[in-house]
Copies of this chain bind each other. A is one copy, B any other.
Amino acid sequence: MEFDSNKPIYLQIVDKIKVSIVSGKYAPGEKMPSVRDFAAELAVNPNTMQRALAQLEAEGLIYTERTSGRFVSRDAVIIGSIKDEQAIAHTKKYLKQMHELHYKTDEIIRLIGDIDAVQAKEEK
């Protein structure tokens, strides 16, 4: 995993895992890797990993079972609402950025269509 040096690593990890859970890559109730394994995998210090996981736990996306490890929340409502929240937050931020550049909604939609077409082509 590549880290952007302008944002705390632990927050970048939080975002990444959040997406994985919310998009279903980690299923509800699934066991997560141990702190040490996860840290090794991402090449960060276990403490940094610990901090990221504590944050996710505070948000209710994962929970800890003493001595047996951490698990993805089984609460589909929380997971779903965080998904929606994220999508809306991304969209609002994006629209704000584009409006500041004086893009109108129809221009934005056209641009999305164009870029999407290019990307679809590249994947072929």
Q: Please count how many residues in chain A sit with their CB below 8 Å of the partner chain's CB atoms.
A: 37
Judge whether B90 and A94 touch: CB under 8 Å. Answer: yes
Closest to A104 in B: B116
Enumerate chain B residues within 8 angstroms of A86, measured Cβ to Cβ.
97, 101
Enumerate chain B residues within 8 angstroms of A11, measured Cβ to Cβ.
6
Q: How far is the CA of A91 from the CA of B22 in the complex (A)?
A: 21
CB distance from A16 to the nearest CB of B (A): 9
CB distance from A105 to the nearest CB of B (A): 5
Q: A12-44, CB under 8 A of B: which get 1 and which 0?
A: 000000010011100000000000000000000
Judge whether A102 and B8 touch: CB under 8 Å. Answer: no
What copy number does this chain have within its complex?
Answer: 4
Judge whether A98 and B87 touch: CB under 8 Å. Answer: yes
Judge whether A6 and B5 touch: CB under 8 Å. Answer: no
Judge whether B6 and A102 touch: CB under 8 Å. Answer: no
Enumerate chain B residues within 8 angstroms of A19, measured Cβ to Cβ.
97, 100-101
Judge whether A109 and B111 touch: CB under 8 Å. Answer: no
Q: State whether A102 and B5 are in contact (beta carbons under 8 Å apart), knowing that A91-B115, A112-B109 are contacts in the complex.
A: no
CB distance from A3 to the nearest CB of B (A): 8
